[in-house]
């Protein structure tokens, strides 16, 4: 049996928390900040949890995370 490969794009985007949930970055915090409000930029700066409806797909893309 061959080894199960990790999807490297997903591995760079998601991290596993201690309780088994996945963390992600928020979209829209890379560039074009000039027209975004300070409040909006501050809210985009943190990390968020992957929704439980999407967590199954992320788990399949990262088979070696426990």
pLDDT digits (tens, 9 = 90+) for 12-65: 999 999 999 999 999 999 999 999 999 999 999 999 999 999 999 999 999 998
41 in Cβ contact with 29 (< 8 Å): yes
Across-strand partners of 24? 48
pLDDT, residue 1, reads 86
Taking phi first (over 0 means left), then psi (-120 to 50 degrees means alpha), and beta for anything else, what does residue 6 get?
beta
Could you give the CA distance from residue 27 to residue 50 in angstroms, rounded to a whole number? 12
**pTM (two decimals):** 0.83
pLDDT, residue 5, reads 94
Distances (CA, A) of 58 to 29, 33, 37: 21, 29, 31
Could you give the CA distance from residue 11 to residue 55 in angstroms, rounded to a whole number? 13
pLDDT at 66 over 80: no
CATH 4.10.410.60 fits 8-61, yes or no: yes
């Amino acid at each position: 049996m061959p080894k199960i490969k990790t999807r490297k794009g997903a591995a760079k985007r998601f991290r596993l928390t201690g309780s088994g949930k996945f963390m992600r970055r928020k979209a829209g915090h890379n560039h074009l900040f000039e027209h975004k409000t300070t409040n909006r930029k501050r809210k985009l700066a943190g990390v968020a949890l992957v929704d439980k409806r999407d967590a199954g797909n992320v788990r399949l893309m990262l088979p070696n995370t426990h």
